[in-house]
């Protein structure tokens, strides 16, 4: 379900923008004629235009998003969502709200492509999600527009680079694990119980203590005690 867009003018501070805000103006309507009817009657219809939504992000509260906002306004964006958050931050409230507001046929616009994704893989995942939902994407600085053939080619190239990045990460991880094993280091989480604690668990169980009581004494889960006992 699409989020209803606000129909108010933006509130501003001395810097011109509030932290975590959506700058919006009344949605515009366009007139399109009805197609020729079999009855011979024509009448005008008022329909809502597909939105061009802007998303601006700065990494800290001290940074000013004005240049991004002005570029997005120049591109016809309305509304514009403004985020004050680092690209590495998982929680981006304004982006979540912006993403929810988008529907099929809408266009998402950013001033620079690095405003949208935390990494190449994250960017491609976001673009793939937009593409699946029938939403176009534009980045003003890079001249990317996925509604065009050239823009769709960029999308394919970005996907290939993201796959390459994932492959490199996987290969580095495997190499690191192999090196750790060769050095005799344990891989994975440390054991919940030491060998001495496992022996204690088995002794307590042999003395008739319940699994629950043994788990409380050793400060571990009952499943851990069961695994220790099963290896007696």
Active-site residues, by number, are 59
User: Is 7 in a helix, a strand, or coil?
Assistant: coil
**In what order do the strands lie in the sheet containing 80-84?**
21-23, 80-84, 52-58, 107-110, 136-139, 144-145
Q: Beta 52-58 vs 144-145: how paired, if at all?
A: unpaired
* Angle ∠(62,67,71) on CA atoms, nearest 5: 150
Question: CA 59, CA 82: separation in Å to the nearest integer?
Answer: 11
Question: CA 147, CA 135: separation in Å to the nearest integer?
Answer: 9
């Amino acid at each position: 379900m699409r989020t209803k867009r606000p129909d108010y003018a933006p509130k501003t501070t001395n810097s011109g923008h509030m932290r975590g805000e959506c700058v919006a103006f009344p949605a515009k309507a366009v007139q399109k004629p009805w197609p020729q009817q079999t009855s011979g009657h024509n009448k005008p219809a008022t329909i809502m235009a597909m939105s061009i939504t802007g998303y601006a992000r700065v990494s800290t509260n001290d940074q000013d998003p004005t240049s991004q906002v002005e570029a997005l306004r120049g591109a016809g964006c309305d509304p514009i969502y403004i985020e004050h958050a680092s690209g590495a931050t998982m929680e981006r409230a304004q982006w979540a709200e912006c993403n929810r507001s988008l529907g099929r046929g809408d266009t998402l616009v950013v001033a620079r492509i690095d405003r949208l994704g935390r990494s190449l893989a994250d960017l491609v995942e976001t673009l793939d999600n937009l593409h699946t939902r029938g939403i176009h994407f534009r980045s003003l600085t890079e001249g990317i527009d996925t509604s065009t053939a050239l823009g769709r080619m960029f999308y394919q190239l970005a996907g290939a680079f993201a796959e390459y990045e994932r492959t490199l990460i996987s290969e580095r991880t495997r190499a690191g694990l192999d090196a750790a094993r060769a050095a005799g280091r344990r891989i994975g989480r440390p054991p919940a119980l030491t060998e001495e604690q496992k022996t204690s668990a088995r002794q307590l169980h042999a003395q008739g203590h319940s699994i629950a009581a043994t788990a409380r004494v050793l400060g571990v889960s009952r499943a851990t005690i069961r695994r220790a006992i099963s290896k007696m």
